[in-house]
Chain A
Amino acid sequence: MSGKESVLTECILKVKEEGRCARIPFVTGGVPDKDSFWDTLAELEENGADIIELGVPFSDPVADGPVIAAASHRALSRGVSLAWLLDGLMERKYKVPLVIMSYANPLLQYGWSKANGTSLEEIRDASLEILAEHLFKAGIKGVIIPDVPLDEAGPYQKALAAKDIDLIALVGPNTSLERMEEYAKTAKGYVYVVSVMGITGAREGLPPEAIDTLTRARSVFSLPLALGFGLKEPGQVRGLSSTPDAVIFGSALVKHLEEGKSAADFMKPWLVG
């Protein structure tokens, strides 16, 4: 493992020094359509995004609510894939760090047909090496895999770390202190704190368990904490007793973009927060 400081950690800490919370918008790849997707990313970074999370569509998105799930199915029908996303990123340049959010199977299959090995384990590791190499070339700084918890993370962590790409840990209201401590041993970049016992999707207010989770995570991790799931407007995180270092908003933005509205409009209220 290399000792390089994580770009993602540095980015959020720099924002923190400015006295504000980092803004991390999430967009499903190819939303609102394949062409304007790239402009949407540019618009997000020009309008206050500090990091952008890019969703790789999957046919069976088990951690996602109806908005992201539907966007995911539509993106697939437009022919969006991880390869399309990475090829497009290699041709372009964005100023803010980019993070990929993908379920395990599209990541695992990405390099599978080119991977050599005499056992499944060897093929898997070779496939993940190819993936990490291409993610690196596309400028990806971090990866979130919502269906790979700590116990399965080893091979993914290893392949990504070799390319200085952070595997982002997800913790939630029912993640015990002990389990957070286990995550802390290998966590890099930032910690994704899931605000609710549920799936992605905009909600009103903030559930009370979010504060407990943030407090518990703060006592364990030295990395910045990014709060996500259920966020749609900055008022939800204003004046909290335990504040996150970054906020992630996905469903509300994806819905907004799919209605044909601009990314700049969506970002406006977040700029004052």
Chain B
Amino acid sequence: MKAYFGDFGGRFVPELLVPPLEELEKAMETYLTNPLYTSELNSLLCHYAGRPTPSTFCPNLSRELGFKLYLKREDLLHSGSHKINNTLGQGLLAKRMGKTRLVAETGAGQHGVATAVAAARLNMSCLVFMGKVDVERQASNVARMRLLGCEVRPVLDGTQTLKDAINEALRYWISSQADTHYCFGTAAGPHPFPTLVRHLQSVIGQEIKLQINDREKKNPDLVVACVGGGSNSIGAFYHFLEDKNVTLVGVEAAGTGTPGCYNSAPLNLGSPGILHGQFSMLLQTPEGQILPSHSVSAGLDYPSVGPEHAFLNATGRVHYGLVNDFKALEAFKILSQSEGIIPALESSHALAWVLENRKEIKKDQVVVVNLSGRGDKDLDIAREHLDF
């Protein structure tokens, strides 16, 4: 299995983490194509998580925009986002590896909740590391995880946010690897996580392809998804990479958008470097220290990005755009009021890019926005900025 995507990727971890990563790689080779594994996973995705999710046509916005806008409804999945595609897949894999516990990092709490859900369903114990700052600003997700029987451990190190939670989970995994699987939340980190998470999320693009071909008798012209670590976007893009007539756009969070502000856009505003086991694009000082990131959407708030995105950016196959907090909040409100769907602030970035670039999109083109999560969790933050 390849550890690199072009120049990006690799496995920059302490030697003590190499054996469990090799063990995971071996398990992927053994089980991911095994019919017993795939049928068990598909059954869970269908009867428990709610797959396939619909591709919903937006009549009101389409009329206004002059092209056909569809939403891939990952927001309708159990636990509220695409994250469960990954946690169920990794949980089943971990069980086959003889592990009895899942450990995970979380920023906003969506991946933490999805891991806690999978652990409960699969009779595994669960421990989630979460920066202390995030624990305080995402109290309801912390309560959700605890209700699901999961231990949430606040991280006091560094900036006390997602990147520090990942550090702490990696540290914990060094000593607990015998019985614990690290259920990494996004298509980033040391090999083989970027490949594993992409594999489990690629069901999104697979369904988009089938559903749009069924309805429109052709591939979509444009697929747009937000990019934090990059799991929902790589999942939406992967099955279209070879279809050169499908334009793919990833949308990074520009933060407040003022020059020099903290942002979460390493592909557009960062430089190459090593963090969390991967060589990828990074927000960093000239000395190689990691900068804090910012976005109104906690799920995009990460100073690096999965290595495959860095590769697809370098080759130009995927275009990576920027959307600031304000435009994302506007899109959040527009979709709620025009189609009756409250999107996550993460996914609102993808929609905002489409609204902002509407003039570039030809009449009657078919556009799919991956609606990676639902926005109920974001009401408090949205209310601080919007009037409703």
Contacts and interface: CB of A to CB of B under 8 A. Distances in A.
Contacts, number: 113
A73 B7 CA distance: 30
A69 B379 CA distance: 36
Contacts of B16: 172-175, 194, 197
B259 interface: no
Interface of chain B: mostly helix, strand, loop or mixed: mixed
B58 to A, nearest CB: 40
A171 B174 CA distance: 13
B170 A104 contact: no
B157 A66 contact: yes
Interface stretch (A18-26, A39-47, A147-155, A247-255): A147-155
Interface in A104-122: 104-110, 112-113, 119-121
A103 B276 CA distance: 11
Contacts of A112: 271, 286
A198 interface: yes
Interface in B62-98: none
Interface residues of B, number: 35
A197 B271 CA distance: 33
A109 B286 contact: yes
Interface stretch (B129-137, B139-147, B287-295): B287-295
B175 interface: yes
Nearest to B288: A109
Interface stretch (A57-65, A87-95, A235-243, A265-273): A57-65
A192 B171 CA distance: 19
B287 A62 contact: no
B289 to A, nearest CB: 4
Contact of B289 (A63, A106, A150): A106
Contacts of A151: 3, 10-11, 18
A171 B12 CA distance: 15
B257 interface: no
B273 A108 contact: yes
Contacts of B177: 174, 197
A174 B275 contact: no
Interface of B: 3, 7, 10-16, 18-19, 157-158, 163-164, 167, 170-171, 174-175, 177, 271-277, 282, 284, 286-290
14 contacts: A60-B276, A106-B287, A107-B288, A108-B273, A109-B286, A110-B288, A112-B271, A112-B286, A120-B7, A146-B14, A148-B12, A149-B18, A172-B15, A172-B16
The 10 closest A-B pairs by CB, nearest first: A109-B288, A106-B288, A105-B288, A120-B7, A105-B274, A198-B175, A59-B289, A104-B274, A59-B290, A63-B14
Interface of A: 58-63, 65-66, 69-70, 73, 76, 81-83, 103-110, 112-113, 119-121, 146-152, 170-176, 179, 194, 196-199
